[in-house]
Structure 1
Amino acid sequence: MISILFISEVPMTLFGVSGNYASALYISAIKANALDKVEAELLDLVEASKRSAQFSAFMKDLSVGAETRVNAIKEICAEAKFSAIVKNFFVLLAENGRLRHLDSIAKRFTELTMAHRGEVKATVTTVIPLPPEEEKDLKETLQDVIGQGKKVHLEQKFDPSILGGLVVQFGQKVFDMSIKTRAKQMERFLREPINFDI
């Protein structure tokens, strides 16, 4: 009964350690009507861990005792003035030795919040940033593909190895229109034996 209730309250089912913790935090945030605040605070701590090598190492170090981890997290949460939900969540992670999963938990939590808002994340990989007009056109095209009722959230990544063109990924779909892929296809085509008897 509890598991059915749990699954019915999240917009998508997530698995694994990160998925379970993200789902639990999502349910708490929804019940407290504090989804945006919780997401912002969670992402703030993730950013802080990326900026501080010492803090990042502390979160990953399992040799640090649970009491030390919990006290440090309580101090950080008090200083950052985090909400009770986020503070309790971070303390739970510290007690269970799960702080090292914070980054992946935050990513999974963001997936839940996007699904809650009807957003679909699309990642476009290019060699250089897309000009604003091309980004707008791509967003409109993707919006047509996913249909009404959902909103495209476009994230740009850069990868010089694709040589040009772009690779678009959303959900399970990948549209690879990179020069690198086209060059490989052309190479395969040119290596095929030619039948002159036709």
Structure 2
Amino acid sequence: MQTIVSGMAGRYATALFELAEEAGSTDAVAADLDRIKALIAESADFQRLVKSPVFTSEQQLKAVGAVLTAAGISGISAKFVKLVAQNRRLFALPGIFDAFAALVAAKRGETVAKVTVAEPLNDAHYATLKDALAQQTGKDVSLDVTVDPSILGGLVVKLGSRMVDASLKTKLNSIRHAMKEVR
């Protein structure tokens, strides 16, 4: 089964995946992209640089180069992100990261589940969730966990085209809606 990634982010991710495969550094590139994703999530300034169209490509390239150097990211990953900045496509990085992860997971025979939780999962909960999803799919599952305190509690799991929303926020909204109908 071939994983299909589409759109601009998919084309960039496919090109990077093919380069990484050719160089035999798919795992290293995946680790670098995870680090860059974490850097973006941790820094409001970096998020602004990635999302804002007001910066010129030269400004984006210079700033991204400095961040990558400071983080110790080099090689194919650094060259790729600099190319994306030069082409004024930094806004597409989250989609590129997701598409690349899907390609890597498909190569490994895994399925990627996007999980949103209110607070970070401890190792035991992470393993339990991973095992439960593996039993459901019959495949090895890798988790892409995002922490979003606004869901209040519970979790939201998206696996392929299926989504299970067991968040406290959704349950409270359902109760609120039901109470409005009773009046």
TM-score, normalised relative to structure 1? 0.65
- Per-residue CA shift, 1:48-69, capped at 9, x if unaligned? 1222212221222323222222
Decide which of 8, 14, 28 is 2:5's aligned counterpart. Answer: 14
- Separation of aligned partners in 1, 2:60 and 2:116: 38
Q: Share of identical aligned residues, percent?
A: 32
- Separation of aligned partners in 1, 2:62 and 2:80: 14
Decide which of 141, 159, 170 is 1:152's aligned counterpart. Answer: 141
Question: How many residues are treated as equivalent by the alignment?
Answer: 170
Letter in 1 for 2:41: K
- Per-residue CA shift, 1:62-94, capped at 9, x if unaligned? 232222222232333333332321121111111
Query: By how many angstroms is 1:99 displaced?
Result: 0.8
Query: Which structure 2 residue ranges, 5 or more long, are not aligned?
Result: 179-183
Shift in alpha-carbon separation, 1:139–1:24, aligned structure 2, 3 A: same
Shift in alpha-carbon separation, 1:98–1:115, aligned structure 2, 3 A: same
Letter in 2 for 1:153: S
TM-score, normalised relative to structure 2? 0.70
- SS for the counterpart of 2:49 is helix
Aligned-residue RMSD, C-alpha: 3.6
Query: By how many angstroms is 1:173 displaced?
Result: 3.3
Preserved contact between residue 130 and residue 143 of structure 2 (Cα < 8 Å)? yes
- Separation of aligned partners in 1, 2:66 and 2:11: 25
- SS for the counterpart of 2:4 is coil
- Per-residue CA shift, 1:23-70, capped at 9, x if unaligned? 111111111111121111112122212222122212223232222222
Decide which of 164, 169, 172 is 2:161's aligned counterpart. Answer: 172
Letter in 2 for 1:70: L
Q: Which has the larger displacement, 116-125 or 17-26?
A: 116-125
Preserved contact between residue 124 and residue 154 of structure 1 (Cα < 8 Å)? yes
- Separation of aligned partners in 1, 2:159 and 2:12: 24
- Separation of aligned partners in 1, 2:95 and 2:30: 13
